[in-house]
Amino acid sequence: MALDQSFVGRSYPPTEPYEVGREKIREFAEAVGDANPAYTDPEAAKALGHPDVIAPPTFVFTITFKAAGQVAQDPQLGLDYSRVVHGDQKFVYRRPVRAGDRLTVTSTIEAIKSLAGNDILDIRGEVHDEAGEHVVTAWTKLVSRAAEGA
């Protein structure tokens, strides 16, 4: 059944602050095999003009994905989360995420579409730091695939 269009535009309360640690950034950079010293060496990061080590561009998804999950699993919305795949992902950065950031995510449902039985949900996550400054916006498209025979 198509999802309720009245959820379009709905925003969810900001998430609890996530504190970005140097070791977590290092762990992520190692997992993607990226040896750029800006991720692990504060002096190298400072030489590039950053106050501390920065995170790889896609690191922030580990934070926004959880926030988007809260939306997608809202029982009132009724999306079949077990059939969800990731369709598109986009980030627009005001500045890179860096060690010491305490980040909150405010998620908003931007669009709901139904195509060939698939439910398609566009979620915008606005990421702010402790001072309330905007850091990055993440757009996540989730597709809940139609059940076979539906």
Could you say which of 2, 5, 19, 90 contacts another protein (CB under 8 A)?
Answer: 90
Q: By CB under 8 A, is residue 65 in contact with another protein?
A: yes
41 binding another protein? (CB under 8 A) = no
Which among 124, 125, 122, 126 is positioned nearest to 141, based on CA atoms? 122
- Which residue matches tokens 């920065």? 54
19 binds another protein (CB under 8 A): no
Give the interface size with another protein as a residue count (CB under 8 A): 35
Q: Are strands 18-19 and 84-93 parallel, antiparallel or unpaired?
A: unpaired
CA atoms within 13 A on the CB side of 74: 18
| Listed residue (127, 142, 141, 121) closest to 10, CA to CA | 121
Q: What is the DSSP letter of 11?
A: B
64 vs 76: CA distance, rounded Å: 21
Member of 21, 62, 81, 115 binding another protein (CB under 8 A):
62
Token pair listed for 48: 């590039």
Restricting to residues 108-147, which ones interact with another protein according to CB under 8 A?
139
Among 9, 11, 32, 134, binds another protein (CB under 8 A): 32
Q: By rule CB under 8 A, what string of x and - marks binding of each residue 69-88 to another protein?
A: ----------------xxxx
Does position 11 interact with another protein (CB under 8 A)? The reply is no
Residues near another protein (CB under 8 A) are 24, 27-28, 30-34, 36, 38-39, 47-50, 54, 56-58, 61-62, 65-66, 85-93, 95-96, 139
